[in-house]
Amino acid sequence: MKNYDKNSLTGFILMAIILIVFNFFFFPEPSPEEVKSEKIEITNLEESSREEAKTQKVAIAKTQEEISNTYGVFSHTAKGEERNYILENEKIKISISNKGGRINSVIIKEGSSGKKFKTYDNKELEIFNSDSSNFNLNFSTGISINTNELFFKNIESSSEGLIMRLETNTNNYIDFIYKLSDEYLVDFDINLVGMDEVIPNELNYMNLDWQMKTPQTEKSKSNQDMYTGIHYQYLSDKEVDYLSFTKTDEEEVNSRLSWVAFKQQFFSSILISKSGFEKPTLLKSIKNENSDYIKDLSAKFELPFNHQRDETLNFQFFFGPNHYKTLLSYDKQFEELVPLGWGIFGWVNKYVIINIFDFLSKYIKSFGIIILLLTLIIKLVLAPFTYKAFLSQAKMKVLKPEIDKINDKHKTKDPMKVQQETMGLYRKAGVNPMGGCLPMLFQFPILIAMFRFFPASIELRQESFLWADDLSAYDSIYNLGFEIPFYGDHVSLFTLLMTISTLLYTRMNSQMATGQMAQMKWMMYLMPIMFLGFFNNYAAGLSYYYFLANMFTFSQMYFMKRLVDEDAILAQLEENKKKPKKKSKFQKKLEDMQKKQEDQIRKRKK
C-alpha cells in the first residue's frame, strides 16, 4: 500500500472514533420529561393557531358588519380593484376610474389650430389628476352614501363613450354616462333607476361635490395664480360673475346657475347644467402660497330628486384652452373667462387687437414679428393724433419764455393771477393747452387693452422670441440666486429696455413741460422705476410691446421735428395775438371759477 493511502486510512479511522465519542458524551438521549415537554409545546402552538384563526374570523365578521353599517345596500360595492378607462380624441384625453365612476384625469393635447400643448417643463398638460381632484354624488338611504368611496361596474365602453354603474341590484342603480360630443365637450348624464325605493320619501335632493387643486402648468407661478379662480353664470340674465382672484373667497349663490368654471391661466374645466343648477350653490376658492398647487377650487351643488322610477340629470363638461374665439363659438359666454378688460378696454381687444392678431398669425409664424407689426399698425393709425399733439406741444414750447415771465412776475403774489394771465396768453395766441391730451385719449385705452391682452393670450404661450423662451411669461437673462423685494430673483431684459426707453421718453417730454407739469418732473421719472419692479415678473410680450411703442414714438418725434418749423409757429402765434379769438365756453367757465376762488380768498383774508 502506498504511503499516501496509509495516511488516508489512518485519518478516516481517527475521525470515526472522534464522532462516536462526541455523540456519546455530548448528545445524550432525551428524558421522558423532555419528550413530554415537547409534546405540550406542540399542543400549545396548535391551540394558539386555532385562537388566531378564530380572532381573524371575528375581525373579518366585524369588518363586514362595519361595511354594512357604513354603506347599507351598497356594501358589496365597497371593495374592489381600481381600474381606469380612457376616452380620447385628437384634442383631449380623459381617464375615468371605476372607483367613484368619476373623471380622475384630463390631458389637453392640442388647440383648435393644431398647436400642441405641454407644461412649462415639457410634460403632458394634465389640468388635474386623481390626487388633486374629487367628484362625488352624496345622497341618503338612511345612511349617507358617497359615490367616490364605492366601485362602479363598466357596463358599456367604446372610444367615444362609457357607462359606469353603481347598483344595489339589477333593479336599483345609478349610471354615470360619459360621451365625447365635441373637441372639448363631454356629455355627462346621471341616470337614476329605481332609486325611489332606496332614498327615503322625505328627501328630495342630492349633493354634488366638485373639487380641484390646480397644478402649476406655466413658467410663472405668480402669473398663473393671478388668472386662476372660479367663474359662474346666472341662468336668468346670463351674467357672468367670479370669486376673488387675489385672496381666499367663498360665496353661497342663491340663484340658479347655468355653469361653473374652474379657470386656470390658459385652460379651464367647466361643468354645465342643461336645465340649470338649483339654488343654493356653494363656491370656494382657497389661496395657499405655500402649496405646490396654485389654488384649491370647489363647488357644491344641490340636485333635485323627484322620487320617480327613472330620472335623468343632464350635464356637460368642457375641458379646453382659454382661446377667445374657441370659447365664443359655444355661444354660452365662455369667452368671459378670457380677461380682456371691461368697457372700452374690452372692446378694443375684442374688435380690434384680436382680429389684427389673428390676421397676422395666418401669414407669419414668429409672434415677435407679429407684435412688432401690430405695434406699427397701431402707431400709424394714431399718427395724425400724435402729430396734432406734437404741434400743440411745439406751440407751448415757443410760448414758454413768456410763460416763465408771467411766473416770475407773480411768483410772490396771488397764484390765481398766474393762471389767469397764462390762459389769456393762450387765448390770444390761439393755443389750446389741452390739445396734447387728445392722442392720450386714444392711446390710453390701447395701452390698458394691451396690458390685459398679452398675459391672457394663449397664442403667446410658450412662443419664443430672441432670448425670451415664453412670451406669455417673464424673460430672464440672468438669475440672481436671491430674491429682491418688489423686483424678483431674475433680470428681465425686455423690462430693462422698456424702462430705459420710457425714461428717455419722459426726459424728452419734460423738456417741453411748463407750469405745474414742470414741477411734477420727479413724479414722471418715478413711474418708470416703479414699472421696472412690476413688469420684471410679467409677460415678456407686454414689455416687448411697450418697448417697441416707445421706439416708434421716438422715430415719429424725430421726423415731426424735422417737419415742424418752430420759428414759423412763433410767427403764426404773434399774428394770432393781433387777432385774438373769442373766449370759448370752456374758457369762460374756467375764468368764472377762478374769479369765485379769488373772491373766497379775499373774504377769508378779511
Same domain, 527 and 580: yes
Q: Per-residue confidence at 175, pLDDT binned at 50, 70, 90? A: very high
Distance CA 544, CA 450 (A): 11
Same domain, 311 and 356: no
Distance CA 517, CA 483 (A): 36
Would 468 be classed as within a structural domain? yes
Cα distances (angstroms) measured from residue 352 to each of 340, 376, 377, 453: 12, 14, 11, 11
In this prediction, residues 122-138 reach a mean pLDDT of 92
Distance CA 247, CA 214 (A): 15
Would 47 be classed as within a structural domain? no
Last residue within a domain, chosen from 276, 311, 338:
338
Would 58 be classed as within a structural domain? no
Same domain, 178 and 249: yes
- For 161, counting Cβ atoms within 10 Å of its Cβ (0-12 exposed, 13-18 middle, 19+ buried), the class is middle
More confident residue, 453 or 518: 453
Would you say 470 and 461 are in contact if contact means Cβ atoms under 8 Å apart?
Answer: yes
* Among candidate residues 233, 321, 312, the one with its CA nearest the CA of residue 272: 233
Same domain, 173 and 280: yes
Distance CA 454, CA 460 (A): 7
Would 217 be classed as within a structural domain? yes
In this prediction, residues 589-605 reach a mean pLDDT of 62
Joined together, the cell numbers standing for residue 444 give 390710453
pLDDT of amino acid 11? 54
Please tell me which of 8-22, 80-94, 150-164 the model is most confident about, judged by mean pLDDT: 80-94
**What would the pLDDT profile of 523-546 be if each residue is shown by its tens digit?**
667 777 888 888 888 889 999 999
Per-residue pLDDT at 3 exceeds 70: no
Same domain, 325 and 412: no
Would 184 be classed as within a structural domain? yes
Q: Per-residue confidence at 594, pLDDT binned at 50, 70, 90? A: low
Same domain, 295 and 394: no
For 388, residues 6+ apart whose C-beta sits below 8 A from its C-beta are 435, 438, 439
Note down the domain range covering 251: 80-338
Joined together, the cell numbers standing for residue 537 give 415678473
The 3-state secondary structure of 563-587, one letter per residue? HCCHHHHHHHHHHHHHCCCCCCHHH
pLDDT of amino acid 595? 65
Q: Which of 142-146, 245-249, 393-397 has the lowest mean pLDDT?
A: 393-397
Residue 395, Cβ neighbours under 10 Å: how many? 25
Last residue within a domain, chosen from 303, 338, 373:
338
H helices of 170-292, where? 221-226
Per-residue pLDDT at 437 exceeds 80: no
For 372, residues 6+ apart whose C-beta sits below 8 A from its C-beta are 548
Per-residue pLDDT at 415 exceeds 90: no
Q: What does the angle CA 342 – CA 348 – CA 353 come to, to the nearest 5 degrees?
A: 125
Last residue within a domain, chosen from 317, 338, 359:
338
Same domain, 492 and 564: yes
Q: Count up the domains in the chain and report the number.
A: 2
Same domain, 387 and 254: no
* Among candidate residues 599, 268, 600, the one with its CA nearest the CA of residue 456: 268
- 363 — phi, psi (to 5°)? -115, -15
Same domain, 383 and 453: yes
- 480 — phi, psi (to 5°)? -70, -30
Distance CA 603, CA 606 (A): 5
**What would the pLDDT profile of 263-290 be if each residue is shown by its tens digit?**
999 999 999 998 899 889 999 999 988 8
Q: Per-residue confidence at 568, pLDDT binned at 50, 70, 90? A: low
Residue 232, Cβ neighbours under 10 Å: how many? 23
Would 417 be classed as within a structural domain? yes
Same domain, 334 and 374: no
For 334, residues 6+ apart whose C-beta sits below 8 A from its C-beta are 261, 268, 270, 318, 327, 328
Q: Per-residue confidence at 255, pLDDT binned at 50, 70, 90? A: very high
Residue entry with cell 365635441:
182
Check which CATH number belongs to the domain holding 224 and give it: 2.70.98.90
Would 599 be classed as within a structural domain? no
Same domain, 350 and 234: no
Would 65 be classed as within a structural domain? no
Element (H, E) at 57: helix 32-71
* Among candidate residues 235, 206, 209, the one with its CA nearest the CA of residue 311: 206
Percent of the chain with pLDDT over 90: 36
**What would the pLDDT profile of 339-358 be if each residue is shown by its tens digit?**
988 888 888 888 888 999 88
The angle, 0 to 180 degrees and rounded to 10, between the axes of the packed helices 367-398 and 400-410 is 60
pLDDT of amino acid 323? 93
pLDDT of amino acid 38? 47
Mean pLDDT of the residues in the chain: 80
Same domain, 154 and 91: yes
